[in-house]
Amino acid sequence: MKLRAVFSILGFLLIYGALAGYIGWNGWLFLSQVAGWKNAVFYSCIIALLALGYIVGRLAQSAPLGWLTTPLKFIGSYWLGLLQYCVLLLPIADIAGLLLKWGGAGADIYITAVGGVVLLLLIVLLVLGSRNAWSPVIRNYQVRIPKSAGNRQKLTIAMASDLHLGTVIGNRQLRKLLRKVEEIKPDIILLPGDILDDDLAPFLKKGMKHVIGQLEAPLGVYAVTGNHEYYGGKVPEFVAEMNSIGIRVLMDETVIIGDEFAVVGRKDKAVGSQNGGRQSIKELVEPLDRSLPVIMLDHQPSDLAAAADNGIDLSLSGHTHRGQLAPNHLITRRMFELDWGYLRKGGLHAIVSSGFGFWGPPLRIGSRSEVLRIDVEFGEGMTKA
């Protein structure tokens, strides 16, 4: 490992440890005042378990006691979400507490009352965020493509991005996806990447491939890779497993569906220069009959201008999670031209989903777990969105 990488890891651990210590210190002030806690060693062990749970859970997945990774990662995941909001709320609470103390207020006000408000806010965020993460909704879009699709006038697409199947999201949540797709009754199902949460092993060990393999639609089920499939380092194995259950993973490939429309699937940009990298949109569409409607799956919505310039009619992406935890959406909004929802760009209809699953904390604030129903109407001469 390069020296620079070592210093980066050490720097991260120091900052992360300082933040965990700061949160732990605030918690100790509150609990020792309200509940009379005296055993600081036991309390410190609890904070250490929470703070290290997610990291240890990810690193120890292949260890002899790998069965412990699920509860560790689950507990640690919630900690990561609470960590963000503690970092946002506690400095404000500490300043308010100091001002109250300097103003002559007693500990029951500047510690108990202020700490109680923070605790209540964290509980509300935890409950609301869990509901938003674990209870998916169907979100509807309608688009018109001014091209003929043979005898087909309409197409109903069910789309679900960012499933992040692994140690936290498993078969129970996956069955919710099946039920939502059944409600939609789609003609075709499209999965724009991050089906895995890095590691292929839990997907296979827990039999998730047999559950997701129950997704069915008359025109088939198609997927592409996301960045997390590449992080896991088992892309060829993942593609083979998906293909074996009837879900075709398009790796810079195009399929023509019933001589009616084309589905283009891009490798995720995380592939970098591995195995020749990925093709440009121009290279992918060059052999196509441009009179056909063209639908593109591209996990990251970072190439919308190129999609519009090269005749893509409908672009479907995920990746952003819409920031997952507000106010992170302010960051994703600056990073991407479209970080969530719908955008018309020339002849292109672009749709970006906040995703079905989540990464890290099983929480969503300002975003929602969703499955998209996209109703497409075809017809020459149509120009309206």
Per-position b or e across 272-296, b if 16+ CB within 10 A of its CB: eeeeeebbebeebbeeeeeebbbbb
**Which residue reads 């919710």 in tokens?**
176
**Mean pLDDT of all residues belonging to the chain:** 92
Which of 85-99, 274-288, 315-329 shows the lowest mean pLDDT across its residues? Answer: 274-288
Of 278, 157, 271, nearest in space to 222 by CA: 157
CATH of 137-378, one of 3.60.21.10, 3.40.640.10, 3.30.9.10, 1.10.1040.10: 3.60.21.10
What proportion of the chain, given as a percentage, has pLDDT over 70? 95
Instruction: Give first-to-last CA distance, the chain, whole Å.
Output: 52
Say yes or no to pLDDT of 98 above 90. yes
Q: Where are the domains of the chain?
A: 3-133, 137-378
Residue 227 pLDDT: 95
- pLDDT at 383 > cutoff 50: no
pLDDT in tens, 123-172: 999 999 999 999 999 999 999 999 999 999 999 999 999 999 998 899 99
Residue 8 has pLDDT above 50, yes or no: yes
Average pLDDT of 241-270? Answer: 96
C-alpha 72/C-alpha 56 separation (Å) is 7
Length of the chain measured in residues: 385
CB atoms within 10 A of CB 126: 18
The mean pLDDT of 254-270, rounded to a whole number, is: 95
In this prediction the pTM is: 0.92
pLDDT computed for residue 247 by the predictor: 98
Least confident of 67-76, 82-91, 232-241, 255-264: 67-76
User: Each residue of 61-78: pLDDT tens digit?
Assistant: 655 555 566 788 888 899
Give pLDDT tens digits for 301-351: 999 999 999 999 999 999 999 999 999 999 999 999 999 999 999 999 999
Q: Residue 263: phi, psi to the nearest 5?
A: -115, 120
Per-residue pLDDT tens digits for 24-42: 999 999 999 998 888 899 9
pLDDT 10s digits, 173-226: 999 999 999 999 999 999 999 999 988 999 999 999 999 999 999 999 999 999
